[in-house]
Amino acid sequence: MEYVTLGNTGTTVSRLCFGTWRFAKRHGDTVETDREEAHDLLDTAWEQGINFIDTANVYGDPNGTSEEWIGEWLADHDREDFVVASKVYFPFDGWGEPGPNDSGLGRKHIRAQIEGTLERLGTDYLDLYYIHRWDENTPIEETMRTLTELVEEGKVHYLGASSMAAWQLTKALWTSDVEGLERFDVTQPMVNAVQYDEVSDYLDVCADQDLAVCPYSPLAGGFLTGKYERTGDGGFEAPDGSRGSLDEMFDEYYVTERAWDVLETVESVAEEVDATPAQVSLRWLMEQDEFTCVPIVGARTPAQLEENVGAVEIDLTDEQFERIDAARSSDD
Ligand SMILES: NC(=O)c1ccc[n+]([C@@H]2O[C@H](COP(=O)([O-])OP(=O)(O)OC[C@H]3O[C@@H](n4cnc5c(N)ncnc54)[C@H](OP(=O)(O)O)[C@@H]3O)[C@@H](O)[C@H]2O)c1
């Protein structure tokens, strides 16, 4: 494993972060990753040198289960070995129905959620706390002030921002600067070799402001591994049990004409460098030169995770890098 300084922070992380969104994720009677599998995946991540773990208060059914399972696992490890990130914003259902203040970025919700998150993770601080989305109903100054208090109280080390418009990210940074508050150091947009142009303004802000970028869904939910087969009728065949076979949103999110074009190029580069499409897709992100880029991989099995970590070992030439870029924009 290689390690990198996370943007402007003084924290060092592995070149890949491990994401735990699918822990306790239910599809009817099927649980995508159960407790034992979750702990096996965390073991593999750690054995592979990954020290950076991503979760959110709302991950798992019921919400909070992902944090809880990580907390159980962390209890048998040295907390100081890990950089742990969580998030706040979405309605938190816990074991019941969310109430009117159980979502958003107001002081009341953030202060309640950080306590639940720390308790479930069994820790007294988070290395990184993201706002999961932008809250149109709360002045950003209240949010940044509340988050600043958490930093001052030692409950959170650094602040992060996930999906939002470039102007919202800019406004939050500006508010921090003029009000003398803590600012975001890390971002978490959806970025992969297919979906990049949609967030290029956001990424320009990250580059300009030296914010680290931790892309989520770096493999487009598994599409960029090449395991989905195109069928003649314009559809696709998904392997049994894969996300594409379980998740209704998969098609709409990830399977576009552009995605097939990018995949074809990624597969040809993979053959040239004797790697897999997943490794090439991750390497393409890690080699972004405008900002520190630490993809959040979301493997389902230890074997997938080991394969993905292999991205650290490969190199792409400028020509290969540009060919993947060109495939993405070829139908514009
Ligand atoms: N901030 C946000 O709003 C947000 C949103 C989404 C995710 N995230 C974070 O980002 C993390 C990663 O997102 P993601 O799970 O969408 O990432 P992804 O890397 O795009 O997709 C991961 C999925 O692809 C499949 N896969 C991964 N490696 C594979 C391999 N080598 N061979 C075959 N299949 C492979 C697995 O699914 P199957 O085997 O089931 O097909 C796996 O669950 C999440 O865990 C979460 O921490 C954040």
User: Do 214 and 206 touch, CB atoms closer than 8 A?
Assistant: no
Say if 26 falls within a structural domain: yes
Helix, strand or coil for residue 187?
A: strand
In the prediction, which pLDDT does 43 show? Answer: 98
Say if 47 falls within a structural domain: yes
Q: Whose CA is nearest to atom 1 of ligand 1?
A: 162
Q: Whose CA is nearest to atom 8 of ligand 1?
A: 216
- Rounded CA-CA distance 6/327 in Å is 29
Among 225, 229, 236, 282, say which to mutate for ligand 1: greatest number of ligand atoms within 8 Å of CB.
225
| Reported confidence tier of residue 330, pLDDT bands at 50, 70, 90 | low
Q: Whose CA is nearest to atom 35 of ligand 1?
A: 222
Residue closest to 282 by CA, chosen among 236, 216, 238: 216
Beta bridge pairs of residue 88: 131
Residue 225 CA to ligand 1 center (angstroms) comes to: 11
Say if 22 falls within a structural domain: yes
Residue 243 CA to ligand 1 center (angstroms) comes to: 9
**How far is CA 20 from its chain centroid?**
9
- Rounded CA-CA distance 149/23 in Å is 30
Task: Say how many domains are in the chain.
Answer: 1
Chain segment 62-113, per-residue pLDDT in tens: 999 999 999 999 999 999 999 999 999 999 987 677 788 889 999 999 999 9
Say if 164 falls within a structural domain: yes
In the prediction, which pLDDT does 98 show? Answer: 76
Chain segment 250-297, per-residue pLDDT in tens: 988 899 999 999 999 999 999 999 999 999 999 999 999 999 999 999
> How big is the CA angle at 285 (ends 186 and 230), to the nearest 5 degrees?
125
Chain segment 28-72, per-residue pLDDT in tens: 888 999 999 999 999 999 999 999 999 999 999 999 999 999 999
Q: Whose CA is nearest to atom 48 of ligand 1?
A: 216
Among 23, 297, 309, say which to mutate for ligand 1: greatest number of ligand atoms within 8 Å of CB.
297
pLDDT at 332 over 80: no
Among 17, 20, 22, say which to mutate for ligand 1: greatest number of ligand atoms within 8 Å of CB.
22
User: Do 128 and 214 touch, CB atoms closer than 8 A?
Assistant: no
What strands lie across the sheet with 296-297, from one edge to the other?
212-213, 184-187, 156-161, 126-131, 83-88, 52-54, 17-19, 296-297
Instruction: Supply the range of the domain harboring residue 137.
Output: 3-188
Q: At what angle do helices 277-286 and 318-329 cross, to 10 degrees?
A: 100
| Neighbouring residues of 1: CB distance < 8 A, sequence distance ≥ 6 | 14, 15, 48, 49, 50, 309, 312
- Rounded CA-CA distance 295/283 in Å is 9
C-beta neighbour count of 82 within 10 angstroms: 22
Beta pairing, strands 17-19 & 12-14: unpaired
In the prediction, which pLDDT does 286 show? Answer: 97
Active site residues: 59
Residue 221 CA to ligand 1 center (angstroms) comes to: 5
To the nearest 5 percent, what fractions of the chain are helix, strand and coil? 45, 15, 40
Residue 180 CA to ligand 1 center (angstroms) comes to: 36
Say if 127 falls within a structural domain: yes
CA dihedral 41→44→45→49, nearest 10 degrees, is: 170
In Å, how far are 83, 103, 158, 177, 238 from 123, measured between CA atoms? Answer: 12, 23, 15, 30, 39
Among 41, 42, 131, 216, say which to mutate for ligand 1: greatest number of ligand atoms within 8 Å of CB.
216
- Rounded CA-CA distance 284/279 in Å is 9
- Give percent above pLDDT 90 in the chain: 89
Report residues whose beta carbon is within 6 angstroms of any ligand 1 atom: 19-22, 54, 132, 162-163, 188, 216-222, 225, 227, 242-243, 278, 296-300, 304, 307-308
Burial (CB count within 10 angstroms: exposed 0-12, middle 13-18, buried 19+), residue 204: middle
Mean of pLDDT values over 19-28: 94
Q: Whose CA is nearest to atom 12 of ligand 1?
A: 298
Beta bridge pairs of residue 31: 26
pTM of the model: 0.97
Residue 107 CA to ligand 1 center (angstroms) comes to: 31
Chain segment 119-142, per-residue pLDDT in tens: 999 999 999 999 999 999 999 999
**Per-residue DSSP letters for 303-332?**
HHHHHHHGGGG----HHHHHHHHHHHHTT-
User: Do 52 and 13 touch, CB atoms closer than 8 A?
Assistant: yes
Helix, strand or coil for residue 161?
A: strand
In the prediction, which pLDDT does 331 show? Answer: 54
Q: Whose CA is nearest to atom 11 of ligand 1?
A: 19
Residue 233 CA to ligand 1 center (angstroms) comes to: 27
Say if 99 falls within a structural domain: yes
User: Do 4 and 16 touch, CB atoms closer than 8 A?
Assistant: no
Say if 129 falls within a structural domain: yes
pLDDT at 219 over 80: yes
Say if 40 falls within a structural domain: yes
Q: CATH number of the domain at 61, please.
A: 3.20.20.100
In the prediction, which pLDDT does 126 show? Answer: 98
Q: Whose CA is nearest to atom 9 of ligand 1?
A: 216
Residue 78 CA to ligand 1 center (angstroms) comes to: 26
| Reported confidence tier of residue 234, pLDDT bands at 50, 70, 90 | confident
